[in-house]
Amino acid sequence: MENITWDYILKYIIVGDSAVGKSSILVRLTDDRFATTEPTLGVEFGSRILTVGDEGKKVKVQCWDTAGTESFRSITRSYFRGAAGALLVYDVTRRDSFEHVTSWLNDLREFADDNVTIILVANKTDLCTLIPPATSKSATSSPIPKSSPQIAQEPESTVGETSRKVSMRIRTVSTAEGAAFAKQHGLMYVETSAKQGWGVLDAFESSAREVLRRLNEDELKRRKPKGVKLDKQQSKSGSCC
């Protein structure tokens, strides 16, 4: 008999405005590298097997990267159905991409399954800092683990008269604001840099852990015996009359 290489297969989707780094997140997941990409036309697909939870379950994440332009929106919505997890991505240096998160969330609520696990992803943090996030916090009861220690590469820079100045962008959406939005809407939350690799695996592993937790809870409910529930005295006496 052929060995099973995974315990679960989970469908994921990545949604958000165009140019927020969705395709780069997918490449980081599948190939663990950064590459500049052209705007997605329709959808792109990739997969990876992750080890999730204390029990070390093997989870094959099948991920669909969807186009962020309005012209493809009707097409991308058709991929929402059946998704176990969704990454809702915005660019921390583009206020408009965060303001549009509500619209994308409404699409997920309408077209995805009711039990889909959604994690809000604040991407491109490397444009604002050379230091990776110390911790990534979840807006749910399931904590997201710390990002793996990595050496930050120096961002693009400009050369002045005699000194070399690092060119950093202004962060227009704070950690507190992003986390507050996630908490308000019952989402998980993580900060990432697809370029540096900060937090990307955190996003998939923590949300997959939440999906498995919900699956286990549903399984326990299905196995719960039906019928009359005896109180303690009746249980001890062995009689319900």
Confidence check: pLDDT of 239 > 80 = no
**Is the pLDDT confidence value at 79 over 70?**
yes
Q: Residue 47 pLDDT > 80, yes or no?
A: yes
Would the pLDDT of 96 be above 90?
A: yes
pTM of the entire predicted model: 0.76
Separation of alpha carbons 11 and 67, rounded Å: 17
Rounded average pLDDT over 93-98 = 97
> Which tokens belong to 105?
């969330």
Domains of the chain (ranges, CATH numbers): 8-237 (3.40.50.300)
Percent of the chain with pLDDT over 70: 69
Residue burial 105-126, b: 16+ Cβ < 10 Å; e: rest: bebbeeebeeebbbbbbbbbbb
Write the CA distances from 92 to 7, 71, 103, 169, integer angstroms. 35, 24, 17, 10
Calculate mean pLDDT across residues 39-63: 85
Helix (H) or strand (E) holding 121: strand 117-123
From the list 12, 75, 85, 100, the residue with the least C-alpha distance to 48 is: 12
pLDDT given at position 164: 42
pLDDT tens-digit profile of 199-228? 999 999 999 999 999 988 876 677 665 554
pLDDT of residue 11: 95
Estimate to the nearest angstrom the gap between the alpha carbon of 181 and the chain centroid: 15
111 dihedral zone (left: phi>0; alpha: psi -120 to 50; beta): alpha
What single DSSP character describes residue 177? H
Mean of per-residue pLDDT scores for the chain: 80
